[in-house]
């Protein structure tokens, strides 16, 4: 079987576009589809850095959470408008990443991972302890996303979960297209070169640290978009959105689906969330099962689902 890339793309989009119609038939619900798309965006954003630049970040939850908090706080306290809230969240997440970036891009490998973990926790503590603003452990509640007004029409993303799904999917589509475009551009090719052989890239005169910084900011930009959508979906955000276990979830999604493939993280997110949904409704000890799942993926599926398919296809 030859792995046809274009056929794969068409299949992915067909499944995503029709999801609200077949999900209830498959015994599931539309919100699960929305969650999958949001997490898929986060995992694909992480994979921009992890799979295509070869840099391991274990702290992406921070920028996801900043996006979520930025949106929630703006809508609650400043402007009750969905687009303004989203913009605020994205700016907050991206600016934080841009500031932290220069401190860590000089580091490599485990050391980079460790620093991203530690920096990620800063925002967790801020969200947790700044009670007067963030509500601490209780999170930011008592606000909700607003319907979208386009002048000629209104999209009621608040009350219609299908409308909200398509709103999320549209943003996902634009983001995915933008990432695919960036990866095909000279910038993306340079990132691949850095991943494959950093020393050689340096010899070619490529400013490696600068490129890693840019890749980091791009990645955090898209992850904060996912974060804003996440808080819009829940009409709520609490510190768990930016805790380290969230970062781990993004990484496992990317690995499970296949780090070296564009759609891998989407598949990983779908498998992970469906499984989590099922396990947490069956048992109280879902954490053990998720932990076991991590261990099994690492031991038996390190290449991910798409990695395995691809290897079968070439052999």
Partner 1 sequence: MTQLLLFNVFNGLIIGAFYALMALGLSLILNLSGVINFAHGGFLAIGGYLAYTLIPYVGFWGALVASPFLVAFIGILVERVLIRRLYGRDPLYSLLLTFGLAFMIEDGTRFIWGAQSLPYQIPSWLSRPLSLQFFFLTGYRVFMVILVTAVVAALFVILNHTRLGIRIRAGTLDLETVSALGVNTGVLRNLNFGLGIYLAGLAGVLAVGMLGLQPTIGDNLIMPSFIAIIVGGLGSLPGTLAGGILIGVVSGITTVFLPAASEAVMYVMMAAVLIVRPRGLFGEEGRF
Residues that bind partner 1 (CB under 8 A): 50, 56, 58, 103-104, 106-111, 113-115, 117-119, 121-122, 125-126, 129, 244-245, 248, 251-252, 255, 285, 287-288, 290-295, 297-299, 302
Cβ 26 to partner 1 shortest distance, Å: 28
**In sequence order, what are the residues at sequence separation of 6 or more whose Cβ sits closer than 8 angstroms to the Cβ of residue 83?**
148
Q: In the beta sheet, which residues pair with residue 155?
A: 148
> Which residue number, 198 or 235, has a Cβ lying nearer to partner 1?
198
Cβ 112 to partner 1 shortest distance, Å: 8
> Which residue number, 123 or 172, has a Cβ lying nearer to partner 1?
123
Helical spans, DSSP H, in 105-241:
109-129, 131-134, 161-184, 186-196, 198-203, 208-234
> Which residue number, 99 or 174, has a Cβ lying nearer to partner 1?
99
Cβ 269 to partner 1 shortest distance, Å: 15
Cβ 154 to partner 1 shortest distance, Å: 43
The string of DSSP codes covering 222-289 is: HHHHHHHHHHHHHT-B-GGGGSHHHHHHHHHHHHHH-TTSSSHHHHHHHHHHHHHHHHHHH-TTHHHH
d(CA 187, CA 305): 27
Place of tokens 């010899």: 203
d(CA 62, CA 224): 9
> Which residue number, 4 or 245, has a Cβ lying nearer to partner 1?
245
> Which residue number, 129 or 185, has a Cβ lying nearer to partner 1?
129
> Which residue number, 14 or 295, has a Cβ lying nearer to partner 1?
295
- Per-residue burial over 181-216, b = 16 or more CB atoms within 10 Å of its CB, e = otherwise: ebbeeeebebbebbbeebeebeeeebebeebbbbbb
Cβ 228 to partner 1 shortest distance, Å: 24
Cβ 299 to partner 1 shortest distance, Å: 7
């Amino acid at each position: 079987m030859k792995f046809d890339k274009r056929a794969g793309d068409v299949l992915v989009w067909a499944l995503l576009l029709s999801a609200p119609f077949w999900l209830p038939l498959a015994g599931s619900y539309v919100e699960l589809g929305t969650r999958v798309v949001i997490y898929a965006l986060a995992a694909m954003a992480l994979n921009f850095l992890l799979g295509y630049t070869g840099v391991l970040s274990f702290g992406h939850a921070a920028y996801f959470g900043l996006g979520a908090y930025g949106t929630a706080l703006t809508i609650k306290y400043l402007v009750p408008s969905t687009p303004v809230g989203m913009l605020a969240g994205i700016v907050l997440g991206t600016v934080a990443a841009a500031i932290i970036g220069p401190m860590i891009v000089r580091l490599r490998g485990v050391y980079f991972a460790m620093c991203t973990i530690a920096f990620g926790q800063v925002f967790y503590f801020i969200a947790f302890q700044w009670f007067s603003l963030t509500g601490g452990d209780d999170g930011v509640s008592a606000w909700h996303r607003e319907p979208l007004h386009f002048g000629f029409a209104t999209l009621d993303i608040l009350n219609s979960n299908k409308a909200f799904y398509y709103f999320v999917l549209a943003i996902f589509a634009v983001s995915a297209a933008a990432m695919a475009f960036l990866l095909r551009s000279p910038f993306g090719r340079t990132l691949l070169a850095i991943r494959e052989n950093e020393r050689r890239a340096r010899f070619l005169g490529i400013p490696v640290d600068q490129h890693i910084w840019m890749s980091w900011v791009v990645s955090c930009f898209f992850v904060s978009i996912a974060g804003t959508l996440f808080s819009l979906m829940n009409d709520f955000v609490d510190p768990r959105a930016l805790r380290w276990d969230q970062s781990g979830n993004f990484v496992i999604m990317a690995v499970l689906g296949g780090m070296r493939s564009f759609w891998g993280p989407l598949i990983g997110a779908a498998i992970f969330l469906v499984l989590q949904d099922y396990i947490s409704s069956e048992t109280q000890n879902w954490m053990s099962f998720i932990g076991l799942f991590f261990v099994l993926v690492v031991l038996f599926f390190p290449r991910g689902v798409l990695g395995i398919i691809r290897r079968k296809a070439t052999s």
